Amino acid sequence: MPEITPAAPALVMDFVNTLDIETGSDAIDSPVALRRWIEQRLGTRLRSVDEAAWHTMIEARESLRDVLASHSGAELSRPALRQLNRAGKSAEIRPQWDDAGTATFEPHDAGAYGALGRIFSAVVTAQSDGTWDRLKVCWAEDCRYAFYDHSKNRSGRWCTMRVCGNRAKTRTYRERHG
């Protein structure tokens, strides 16, 4: 049976993984590309994405990557948290009550900052439903891919044991025996 990643951490994961560090390919390497990604992933139609919003989102992506790295053993980055707080101000997330009396955090902005707001809102959801700690960044320096740790004891450190984990093990083996 395939392992399914819950929706909230999956959105954050997909956002962080718009940049593939190993190959250098970036799905949101321009405001136009970011607009396309937002339309495809969030179903939000935008007229355009301005340069400033694009910069903020690129920074937020890397800050989120740094924060997720703390789930796989790295120290929590304070500069990353500060940047996320700055970015959050632009996102303008507000509580929204529906007719049934249920409140959710919704971004006020209808543009790119709103998309960032929805990603931040997914972070809050993941933190409250216990899935946040499972969202990690691969321990391999040249990979740093975001992945959801499905393991029972939540001890995963590499995106896929087959590729990165084995590569790291081979390196350690060579260092010890070479």
The residue ranges that bind Zn ion (CB under 5 A) are 138, 140, 143, 145, 159, 164
CB of 138 to Zn ion, least distance (A): 3
Rounded to the nearest whole angstrom, what is the least distance from the CB of residue 145 to Zn ion in the complex? 5
Q: Which amino acid is at 133?
A: D
Measured from the CB atom, the residue of 38 and 164 that comes closer to Zn ion is 164
Q: How far is the CB of 168 from Zn ion (least distance, A)?
A: 9
Q: What is the radius of gyration, based on Cα positions, of the chain?
A: 17
**Residue 137, helix vs strand vs coil:** strand
Can you point out the beta strands (E) in the chain?
19-20, 25-26, 93-97, 103-107, 135-137, 146-148
Six token digits for residue 87: 């970015």
Please choose, from the candidates 91, 133, 97, the residue with its C-alpha nearest in 3D space to the C-alpha of residue 114.
Answer: 91
Nearer to Zn ion, 53 or 138 (CB): 138
In the bound state with Zn ion, the residue whose beta carbon lies nearer, of 51 and 141, is: 141
Minimum distance between the CB of residue 42 and Zn ion, rounded to whole angstroms?
26
Between 42 and 74, CB nearer to Zn ion: 74
